[in-house]
Structure 1
Amino acid sequence: MNILYCGDARMKQGLLISILSLLKRVPEPLNITILTAHMHSDTRQFLPLTATTAEGLNRLVKRTNPANCVTRVDVTALVRQTPPTANRNTIFTPCCVLRLYADQVPSLPDRLLYLDTDVICRQDPRAMYYQDLSGIEFAGVLDHYGRWFFHRHWPRGDYVNSGVLLLNLAEIRRTGLFARSRQLCQVQEMFMPDQSALHQLVTRQRLLPRRYNEQRRLHAETIFQHFTTSFRFFPWVHTLTVKPWEVTAMHDRLKLHEYDDILTDYQKIITNL
């Protein structure tokens, strides 16, 4: 199974947890690629994930299956060619657009499952991964909140959350979807820029059931749980953001112990990674 992650050096904690969850749930070899880069806003620097961390992750996955591998690809040079100029200073890190450079990495395979590093795999995802993608650029799940506010074809929801995407990279290269999305991020400031660019420019996508990118609460059928910011209305209206590596908050604020086996392994490994 071909997996893609993207981000800077600060993704190490989430990356480790997400990979540990895949090792527990996917009974076949994992080919994991990490795109990283040196990026900056007007006030902040974002450093690449280190080669040392990637090498440590590669050793880790091979303990489960020698056929597993982790490969780090530094795409700094590609980013400099078409930087997300208009979106460098949004509330989101500019590293969120790194997935849009995947089409320029020749070593990446045609079928690729992209995951944000705050996504945990809860059940075997092979039924989703091996679906027919003929003529489809990507498959994904509607954004829990964005589906109500962003539409291309009203009244049907079509605004996909980009945290879990099954990519047909061959089709994306053919249509130029990522290339056009990068260009849009250069000239137009957008809320959640990579996600919004894909929404505006995709020509053919497939909507998947919510269980493949659960952004709200855990359900019995959940395959991937994505720890996004949510709105809560009791005892007052507020937002709630808890990430998997915030172990105490996972227990105390979310009352969630579903992933304690993974988080225990995480806590043993992270200090040496």
Structure 2
Amino acid sequence: MQHILYCGDSQMIDGLILSSLSLAKNTNEALDIRILTARIESAEKTYHPLTEDSAVKLEKILQAYDERHCVTIIDISDLLLSEFPVANQETIFTPNCMLRLFADKLSDLPERFLYLDTDVICCRDFSEFYHQELNDVEFVGVLDYYGKWFFHHQWRTFDYINSGVLLFNTAEIQKTNLLGRCRKLCQEKTFFMPDQSALNTLAKKKKITNRKFNDQRRYHKNTVFQHFTTSFRFFPWVHTLTVKPWEIDKMHDVLKLHVHDDLIDQYLAYKEDFLY
């Protein structure tokens, strides 16, 4: 069984359908998908939690691939309020990114779990990554494409990991209280990318793996997980570019990317289930 963790609110349905569908298409194992959600109120916006109805509908979609797949939504609104990241509540990043830092509060965590952002698409079998050796490792991830040049926390030349694809070793993060210390740091210190920066700052046993397991720049023939992050473009002028996998016209016209079209067709068909 492969244990997967997502985080998000009611606006993340598109990403959840696409990302979880891509996993189901590329595994022969049962998927245990857990989604952390919460009601979050900020000065600009109120984020509404996902409902149990969403879990039922998503599970039904995935069980068309394998009846063993299961989806559980866990509302951690109260937990979030008890350790709210007050120093980072006004950052440009959605507060939902902080929810992953509460994963250690779950009562029945498996020995390992794979955290994925909802803008991550699985492109091929990921069992090699999921079942790798984790002795004396808190988590495994890939260097951040841009951040590795600007942030540094250990003796290695590059050590700043992107937090969109992380394989956690439960025993090790519980032993070091990594996530608890990250939550505390986010209450006390302001960061540009709060949860990602906290994890990189405090983790002492992180393992850096191959680019193909979190391809942030573009799709390659050996890409396992493609992560649709914001990137920089230099023509015809320097600018940022953000395209998410559910923005289909941009995927085709801007990125010129059609490799996920079969997945997108399935997503469009299944999305109707969430409208009624």
TM-score range (shorter-chain normalised) is over 0.9
- Residue number in structure 2 paired with 1:214: 215
Q: Compute the displacement of 1:271 (Å).
A: 2.6
Query: Does the Cα contact within 8 Å between 2:37 and 2:99 map onto a contact in 1?
Result: yes
Q: Compute the displacement of 1:42 (Å).
A: 2.0
CA distance in 2, matches of 1:103, 1:149: 29
- Aligned pair 1:247/2:243, yes or no? no
1:159-192 per-position Cα deviation (integer Å, ceiling 9, x unaligned): 0000000011221111100000000111111011
Aligned-partner residue type, residue 268 of structure 2:
Q
Instruction: Give unmatched runs, 5+ long, in structure 1.
Output: none
TM-score, length-scaled by structure 2: 0.97
- Residue number in structure 2 paired with 1:37: 38
- Residue number in structure 1 paired with 2:225: 224
Aligned-partner residue type, residue 115 of structure 1:
L
Helix, strand or coil for the counterpart of 1:136?
Answer: coil
- Residue number in structure 2 paired with 1:124: 125
CA distance in 1, matches of 2:8, 2:108: 18
Query: Does the Cα contact within 8 Å between 1:40 and 1:88 map onto a contact in 2?
Result: no
- Aligned pair 1:84/2:90, yes or no? no
- Aligned pair 1:75/2:64, yes or no? no
CA distance in 2, matches of 1:253, 1:17: 19
CA distance in 1, matches of 2:186, 2:156: 26
Aligned-partner residue type, residue 173 of structure 1:
Q
Structure 1 vs Structure 2: percent identity of aligned residues? 52
- Aligned pair 1:200/2:201, yes or no? yes
1:82-107 per-position Cα deviation (integer Å, ceiling 9, x unaligned): 01111111000111010000000012
Aligned-partner residue type, residue 215 of structure 2:
E
Aligned-partner residue type, residue 144 of structure 2:
D
Query: Does the Cα contact within 8 Å between 2:182 and 2:199 map onto a contact in 1?
Result: yes
Aligned-partner residue type, residue 15 of structure 2:
G
Query: Does the Cα contact within 8 Å between 1:218 and 1:225 map onto a contact in 2?
Result: yes
TM-score, length-scaled by structure 1: 0.98
- Residue number in structure 2 paired with 1:270: 271
Q: Compute the displacement of 1:108 (Å).
A: 2.3
- Residue number in structure 2 paired with 1:144: 145
CA distance in 1, matches of 2:40, 2:140: 28
Residues 86-101 of structure 1: pairs in structure 2 closer than 5 A? 86-101=87-102
Q: Compute the displacement of 1:65 (Å).
A: 1.1
Aligned-partner residue type, residue 137 of structure 1:
E
CA distance in 2, matches of 1:110, 1:102: 12
CA distance in 1, matches of 2:271, 2:182: 35
Q: How many residues align?
A: 273
Query: Does the Cα contact within 8 Å between 1:163 and 1:226 map onto a contact in 2?
Result: yes
